[in-house]
Structure 1
Amino acid sequence: MALVAALGMVGASISFEVAGKKVGSLTVNIVRLIQGLIFLSITSFFVRGIPFPIDASLKEYTFLGISGFIGMFLGDLFMFESFVLLGARITTLIMTAVPVVTALSAWIILGETLSFQEGIAILLTIGGIFLVMFYGNRKGKGEKKEKFPIKGILCAIGGVLGQSLGLIFSKIGLESYDPLAATQIRVIVATIAFIILISIRGKWGEVKKGTKDKAALKWLVVGSFFGPFVGVTAMLIALKNASAGIVSTLSSTSPILVIPFCIFIFKEKVRPIEILGAIISVGGASLFFI
């Protein structure tokens, strides 16, 4: 189930990359959140007996709401733009830095300590990412140079910061509350934030036009199904049947699992050194959970 969760994230990343290039990241965000909320509500009804998180306390609503705004609104706003600019493979790889930034944020905000092993994990994760980014711009003779736009890299970094800080606030607000319902609260807040943003920027015409693109809409449905529904549900099942460390490690393998899909679907040429970089980065992230 942990591997299914990782594959769910791969399916969502690829689907949202394709849809984002067709209709833009803003349309992708609002549509996938609404679709994801529908899937989550259906799951919650069968798992918890209630479709919506009406049993949360004020504290849980407050901190999970802040988490949803920072992580699923700001973080995903940047991350999905990165999908469009950098693609699923590179964005997913950069997102392996989330445990690194989360650990550093917890050290600064919550006063949690960093062990020697976690320090090594940070170095490995960042080293793997830099290996791919560096060699991605050093193609051999006759090969097309792969370009990583600065805007795309900054958006991916923004996604990492947003998701990491979102996790910190989730930890404060979650405690003994149900993870599925907590995800619903985060999604609801993020949806409201995107509605306000789209209204301020006057982009409803663009969103409406995007929803009429049948090809993009199919990819959005697929992404919403694999991400918030399959990914989250599989993660919860895995956590009930295995230790959190094993689940976290297996579910973080998406940067490696996404490579063959990008080769066959997007016809991307991936060098062995880039595969090695992805393995090193995922290995570093795994050290946080072992």
Structure 2
Amino acid sequence: MSAYLLNAGFSFTGELAALVAAFLWAVSTVIFGRLGKRLSPLMLNLSKGLLAIAFVGLTLGLRGSQPSNIEPLALGLLLLSGIIGIGLGDTAYFNALNHLGARRVLLMESLAPPIAALIAWIFLAEVLSLSAWLGMLLTLLGVSWVISERVPDVNPVQAHPWRGVLWGLLAAFGQAIGVVLSRAALTGTGIDPLWSTLLRLVGGVITLLVLLLAQRRLGRDAQPLRSPRLVGVVVVAAVLGTYLALWLQQTALKFAPTGIAQSLMATSPLFILPIALWLGDRVSLRALGGASVALVGIWLLFVQHS
């Protein structure tokens, strides 16, 4: 996929990959929210991870792709990125989803881009221009304005909302640290984003297996997966939200600065608006205004690279 974008002559490979990943996450978040009623966060995360590994392996086999000379440091960074970002961060995200609902969790995820940008500035010496910071700010403000609108929530806040907030914060930090580690491994190396996706998934799945086995919950939590219909839904969610989205995420991190890539990937809520219109739902002026502000921010993020 990343090779296609490059061969097509796109000069914004990373930015475009980030936006497509955001769209896929918008769709898969709705599916994951429903799956969370049937599967525990750990089992849901493990299931999508194992399926994604299978699809990535199949894709690499069909492409006849061989692993390039991956330096031990890059290998360690990608595995650690998977442990923190997928194994721990995604599990925290699914826990927060169960407590707060998709809209509030996506609002908390807006914290991840500035956290990632700051970490990248400190440890990777990534310096963003003033227009890039302004673009990030406008994008996140627009997204936050859309998400924070009061609407009926199909997943109301449960009895312990602060527990959901804590999970949401852990998810945001896990995601931010995970993408910075990936960026550190991808920058200046010839690692294919699909191979880095595979390594991240392996790190995450190993972590999840250890947690489930330590809690002796593997067999019990896997019981709902006896339903073929449920497995089918998990497969769809894994293809969209893990296999394709993570591949695009790694492409974005390889070709765009951390803060910019993460900001564009945080625009998932904006893609809900056209989906809602297509389904015949009403979209408020506030939502359209927030989307307009975010689009100005996205334009600035593209312009600063031109």
Tell me the TM-score normalised to structure 1 length.
Answer: 0.78
Give 3-state SS (helix, strand or coil) of 2:70's partner.
coil
Corresponding residue of 1:152 = 164
* Structure 2 Cα separation of the partners of residues 255 and 205 of structure 1: 35
Equivalent-residue separation in structure 2 for 1:42 and 1:205 (angstroms): 27
Q: Distance in 2 between matches of 1:238 and 1:119?
A: 18
1:208 aligns with 2:226: no
Q: Which sits farther off after the overlay, 223-232 or 273-282?
A: 273-282
| Distance in 2 (alpha carbons) for counterparts of 1:119 and 1:244 | 14
Q: Using the alignment, how far apart are the partners of 1:34 and 1:146 within structure 2?
A: 27
- 1:102·1:167 contact (CA, 8 Å) conserved in 2? yes
Quick one: which amino acid aligns to residue 172 of structure 2? V
How far is the alpha carbon of 1:190 from its aligned partner? 0.6
Which of 185, 197, 210 matches 1:196?
210
What is the aligned partner in structure 2 of residue 170 from structure 1? 182
Deviation of 1:112 after TM superposition, in Å, equals 2.9
Which among 75, 78, 89 is matched to residue 61 of structure 1? 75
DSSP 3-state at the match of 2:222: helix
d(CA) in 2 for partners of 1:268 and 1:206?
39
What is residue 28 of structure 1 aligned with on the other side?
44
For residues 87 and 50 of structure 2, what CA distance do their matches in structure 1 show? Answer: 13
Q: Does 1:221 align with 2:255?
A: no
Report the alpha carbon displacement of residue 28 of structure 1 after superposing the two structures with TM. 0.6
Q: Percent identity?
A: 27
Q: Structure 1: how far apart are the matches of 2:84 and 2:299?
A: 24
Matched residue of 2:127: which SS? coil
**Aligned match for 1:105, one of 105, 116, 119:** 119
2:53 corresponds to which of 8, 18, 37: 37
Distance, in Å, in 2 between the alignment partners of 1:273 and 1:286 is 20
**1-structure distance, mates of 2:264, 2:198:** 24
Give yes or no for contact 1:68–1:186 (8 Å, CA) kept in 2.
Answer: yes
CA distance in 1, matches of 2:253, 2:182: 17
Indicate conservation of the 8 Å contact 1:40/1:184, yes or no.
yes
Aligned mates of 2:204, 2:112 — CA distance in 1: 19
**Secondary structure at the counterpart of residue 21 of structure 1:** coil
Q: Which amino acid aligns with 2:164?
A: G
Deviation at 1:183, TM superposition (A): 0.9
One of 78, 90, 101 as aligned partner of 1:76: 90
Structure 2: distance between partners of 1:195 and 1:204: 8
1:273 and 2:286 are equivalent in the alignment: yes
Letter in 2 for 1:38: A
Please give the per-residue CA displacement for 1:168-199, whole angstroms capped at 9, x wherever unaligned: 11122223211110111110011000001111
How many pairs does the alignment contain? 279
More deviation, 27-36/3-12: 3-12
Kindly state the Cα deviation for residue 121 of structure 1 after the two structures are TM-superposed: 3.6
Matched-pair contact (CA < 8 Å) for 1:99–1:288: no
Selected match of 1:182 from 193, 196, 199: 196
Letter in 1 for 2:109: M
Deviations 1:227-276 (A, max 9, x none): 23333456789999xx859x9587654221124546888x9876442454
Structure 1 residue ranges without an equivalent (≥5): none
Aligned mates of 2:109, 2:153 — CA distance in 1 = 25
| 1:114-158 per-position Cα deviation (integer Å, ceiling 9, x unaligned) | 43224324543453455356543xx7xxx8899553333332332
Equivalent residues of 2:182, 2:253 under 8 A apart: no
Counterpart contact for 1:96–1:125, Cα < 8 Å: no
Superposed CA deviations along residues 198-217 of structure 1, whole A, max 9, x for unmatched, are 11122113322131244432
Give the partner amino acid of 2:43.
Answer: T
**CA 63–285 in structure 1, closer or farther in 2 if over 3 Å, else same:** farther
Distance 1:239 1:27, change over 3 A: closer
Instruction: Report SS of the residue matched to 1:202.
Output: coil
Unaligned runs of 5+ in 2: 6-15
Structure 2 counterparts to residues 254-265 of structure 1, below 5 A? 254-259=268-273, 261=275
Equivalent positions of 1:223-238 (< 5 A) are 223-232=237-246
- Please give the alpha-carbon distance, in whole angstroms, between the structure 2 residues aligned to 1:269 and 1:239: 35
